[in-house]
Chain A
Amino acid sequence: MTVHQRDWQAFVTPGKDGAVHMDLAVDGITCAACMGDIERGLKRLPGIRTARVNLTSQRLAVDWVEDQTGADEIVAELTRLGYKAHPFDPASQKDRQDRTGKELLRSLAVAGFAGMNIMLLSVSVWSGNATGIEPETRDFFHWLSALIALPTVAYAGRPFFRSAFRALASGRLNMDVPIMIGVVLAVALSVVQTVQHQHHAYFESAVMLLFFLLVGRYLDHNMRGRTRSFAENIAALKAEVAARILPDGSVREVPLSKVSAGDLVLVSAGERVPVDGVVETGMSEIDQSLVTGESILVAVDRGQRVYAGTLNGSGSLQVRVEAASGATLLDEVNRLLEAASQAKSKYVRIADRAARLYAPLVHGAAGLTFLGWLLAGMEWQPALVIAISVLIITCPCALGLAVPAVQVVASGQLFRRGVLLNTGDAIERMADIDTILFDKTGTLTLADPELCSPFDLQDPVVRLAGRLALASRHPLSTALVRATGAITPLPEVKEVPGAGLETMVEGATLRLGSPQFCGASAEQIEDALREVPGASLLAIRFGDGPVQLLPFRQSLRPDARAVIDRLKAEGYALEIVSGDTEPSVAGCAEALGIAHWQAGMKPAQKIVRLEDLQQSGHKVLMVGDGLNDAPALAGAHVSLSPVSAVHLSQAAADAVFLGDRLQPVADALRLSKRARAAIEQNLWISGLYNVIAVPVAVAGFVTPLMAAVAMSASSLIVTANALKLRWGEGRPETGAGPAHLPAEKAEG
């Protein structure tokens, strides 16, 4: 949409043999036909080496020879084919290869293949023990098992060992510490048993344990990777770029990561301001609702500060990029954000809480077993064998799967309902909530203003004004165009920056713009504002006729009332904290039936209100989108943010919801409660398993066969219990999965 050139060098990365590589997020790939269309269409361009669509992540990777085709031609060809595409900023996409995921999958494969081979040998030994195997053969099989198991544990156990050492180094206990101790002891004990020609070795237990735990880890990682890559696609399709003005005066569009403090950036009319900075030249009106929560446009002039995420109105601005300094809103938000996120990091995940309880208990039981058998007159070595078998049987196989299995299933369900999780433990925290704080602008309401009084569509003056509005990209003009459905623009439109539009129709002047520009009286403005409190006014005047005032306001999300009613019925305490003016917040609260509301809140006041509630024992869910909500989002027990929010808020929130409806908020709460219940059941199941297994182990009756069966059975039960979450949850009511509704609202 922008007229200036894009600096393609900033988006492509060099590939092999003089070729270049570019990754694009492509919107609207839904089926195999799209995939074929895009790949075949691109291959017709000269110089294209490979064009490959990834249907899972909805991305396109293109390699081509640079001097034969330009990147802009590729994007143009995609547009011609009917797909909106935008290249990724290479800097924002560091993890293209997904190293962690591949390492986990490799470890999983090694553990799986090793486990199968060892199990073959073990089954032979177990049946041989019953039927009279020769000791030499058994020793041989045990040595072979050791040969496979030792390198496998060293290789496939690395993710756990690393995490356990990190936890121990910082003086904490997590689930990986007992896992590491259990696995290492099991292998060490088995080697000792093998050397001593004993009947039993536990190699297969150690490897199988790693296999099951790696399954849990991999699922967990995949869940996060999927939501993250989806969020990256949305960010790329929002076209987070800046138009940098070079010293020679030419303008190049570059990714945000290539803009630094001191650069001059051009912000055209109707665009979002990409950076924080000071206006160097130009004047305009700015919609700051994403930053301050106020829905009224603010006039900006030379020397004034503008913030990333705000929407520029009618004039174009040159903005000098600034690293934040001094007492600005952004600094305050950053400071509050830091303080708030520190407070929140105190939350301990359920799995880690279980580990804190579990590790001392199990190790204590093993120690007592050892002492008990010694006191009962046993030699120290067999007593040690029994103690270690207690550790093996209690090794947290089911416990390691209990939480990730549920999180994977629940996050998949949430994903289908348009909720993307930033953090896995958000589900646990969301289940505790009893109070919900809503921001108003952009959260309860939609981000774009809408005409909110009845008007006569047949009125020729309004229709003319709609056509006149096509000439401007001012937010109110675009709203008027939407309302009137105008298509043909009027000729010879003159734009008066910061005031309005003017043209001649049939010899008379038609004006559209601020009430002052059209000559509206102060009384008339007052009357209009009394009728629709907190509205932005757009005035029309045709010739010497009367001035018509059209009030605009962000309208409520279509299902807001229904969702709020349901949340109230479910017993949540609801409250609105908004930065907007009192009349408009009051109107919104009344329309939704929310009794508690506060208007004109600054970021710090929102935090104070939040802390008051949390100190009186409430668990608060914060739902907000603006920069002014970011600290509250970070400080709340758990937080949600709509996809239209500013980047900082999305990053501070625990989850992001898509689309125009408020329903995902209610869905997220309901699903989290079920998921939380499933997590607790799973923990009880693994607890119960231990209650049965430990006495058997303490008594010294545990054989490797029992360990293998108990381990697999408990893991399967826990996984099945997690899958239960999917039952009774059909497709979401409105059909469309997140794949179909992203980013339509992206460009304000």
Chain B
Amino acid sequence: MDVLIYLIPIAFFLGALGLGAFLWSLKSGQFDDLEGAKWRILDDDDLPDD
């Protein structure tokens, strides 16, 4: 069972990574507008205006 000594820290790290990613996305305002985001993928505003 010595493998636990490596595996458990790895599991914790991955869990913390997920939590950190979520908290970051919350902080950067990605949950402010849940309606608009699904439409923005259709928006070609990276193309130059005709």
List residues of A whose CB falls within 8 A of some B CB: 31-32, 35-36, 39-40, 53-57, 102, 105-106, 109-110, 113, 116-117, 120, 134, 137, 140, 144, 148
Contacts of B43 in A (CB 8 A): 32, 35-36
> Please, which residue of chain A has its CB at the minimum distance from the CB of B17?
A113
Chain A to chain B contacts (Cβ below 8 Å), 26 pairs:
A32-B36, A32-B39, A32-B40, A35-B36, A35-B39, A35-B40, A36-B43, A36-B45, A40-B45, A53-B36, A54-B32, A54-B36, A55-B36, A55-B39, A56-B33, A56-B34, A56-B36, A105-B26, A109-B23, A109-B26, A113-B15, A113-B16, A113-B18, A137-B1, A144-B8, A148-B12
Chain A residue nearest in CB terms to B36: A55
| B interface residues, tally (CB under 8 Å) | 24
Q: Report A-chain residues with C-beta under 8 Å of the C-beta of B6.
A: none
- Having A36-B45, A109-B22, A113-B16, one finds 18 other A-B pairs with CB under 8 Å, namely A32-B36, A32-B40, A53-B36, A54-B32, A54-B35, A54-B36, A55-B33, A56-B33, A56-B34, A56-B35, A110-B19, A113-B18, A116-B15, A120-B11, A134-B1, A140-B4, A144-B8, A148-B12
User: CA A57 – CA B29 in complex, angstroms?
Assistant: 14
A-chain residues with CB within 8 Å of residue B19 when the two chains form the complex: 109-110, 113
How far is B36's CA from A109's CA once the two chains are assembled, in angstroms? 23
Q: A93 CA to B7 CA in the complex, in Å?
A: 49
Residue ID in chain B nearest A109 by CB atoms:
B22
Contact yes or no, A57 B26, CB < 8 A: no
Least Cβ–Cβ distance between A122 and chain B, in angstroms: 14
Q: List residues of chain A with CB within 8 A of the CB of B45.
A: 36, 39-40
- What's the least CB distance linking A525 to chain B, in Å? 56
Chain A nearest CB from B9 CB (Å) reads 10
Shortest Cβ distance from A56 into chain B, in angstroms? 4
Instruction: State the 9 A-B residue pairs at the shortest beta-carbon distance, nearest first.
Output: A32-B39, A55-B36, A55-B35, A113-B19, A56-B35, A54-B33, A117-B15, A56-B33, A109-B22
Chain A residue at smallest Cβ distance from B42: A32
Please, how many angstroms separate the alpha-carbon atoms of A31 and B32 in the complex?
Answer: 17
B21 to chain A, nearest CB (A): 10
Q: Nearest chain B CB to A519's CB is how many angstroms away?
A: 60
Q: Which residues on B sit within 8 Å (CB–CB) of A116?
A: 15
B49 to chain A minimum Cβ distance, whole angstroms, is 8
When distances are taken between beta carbons in the complex, the residues of chain A under 8 Å from B22 are: 109, 113
**Docked complex Cα distance between A674 and B18 (Å):** 40
The answer for the CA separation of A8 and B10 in the assembled complex, in Å, is 55
| Complex CA distance for A176 and B39, rounded to whole angstroms | 40
Closest CB of chain B to A204's CB: distance in Å?
14
B26–chain A nearest beta-carbon distance, Å? 6
CA distance A40 to B11 in the complex (A): 45
In the bound complex, what is the Cα–Cα distance between A32 and B12 (angstroms)? Answer: 41
Q: Please, how many angstroms separate the alpha-carbon atoms of A36 and B45 in the complex?
A: 8
A55 contacts across to B, CB distance below 8 A: 33, 35-36, 39
Q: How far is the CA of A729 from the CA of B39 in the complex (A)?
A: 28
Cα A105 to Cα B39 in complex, Å, equals: 24
Assuming the contacts A39-B45, A53-B36, asked whether A105 and B8 have C-beta atoms less than 8 A apart, the reply is no
Q: What residues on A are CB-neighbors of B36 within 8 Å?
A: 32, 35, 53-56
Cross-chain contact B26 with A102 (CB below 8 angstroms):
yes
A140–B11 Cα distance when bound, in Å, is: 15
Q: How far is the CA of A536 from the CA of B42 in the complex (A)?
A: 55
Q: Select from chain A the residue with minimum beta-carbon distance to B14.
A: A117
Cβ contacts under 8 Å, A113 to chain B: 15-16, 18-19, 22
B23 touches A57 (CB 8 A): no
- Which chain B residue lies CB-closest to A33? B39
Residues of B within 8 A of A57 (CB): 33
CA distance A109 to B20 in the complex (A): 10
The chain A residue with its CB closest to the CB of B41 is A32
Is B11 in contact with A117, judged by CB distance below 8 angstroms?
Answer: yes
User: In the complex, what distance in Å separates the CA atom of A116 from the CA atom of B16?
Assistant: 11
Closest to A113 in B: B19
Given the complex, which residues of A lie within 8 Å of B49, measured CB to CB? 40
CB contacts (< 8 Å) of B42 on chain A: these are 32
Cβ of B8 to closest chain A Cβ, rounded Å: 7
Q: How far is the CA of A53 from the CA of B8 in the complex (A)?
A: 44
CB distance from A214 to the nearest CB of B (A): 14
Residue in A36, A106, A140 whose CB lies within 8 Å of B26: A106
Chain B residues lying within 8 Å of A134, measured Cβ to Cβ, are 1
Min CB distance A215 to B, Å, is 15
Contact of B12 among A53, A117, A137 (CB under 8 A): A117
- Minimum Cβ distance to chain A for residue B5 (Å): 10
> Within the assembled complex, what's the spacing in Å between the Cα atoms of A54 and B35?
8
Please give the distance in Å from A46's CB to the nearest CB on chain B: 15
> How far in angstroms is the closest Cβ of chain A from B11?
7
CB distance from A107 to the nearest CB of B (A): 11
Contact partners of B15 in chain A: CB under 8 A: 113, 116-117
Min distance, Cβ A60 to any Cβ of chain B, angstroms: 11
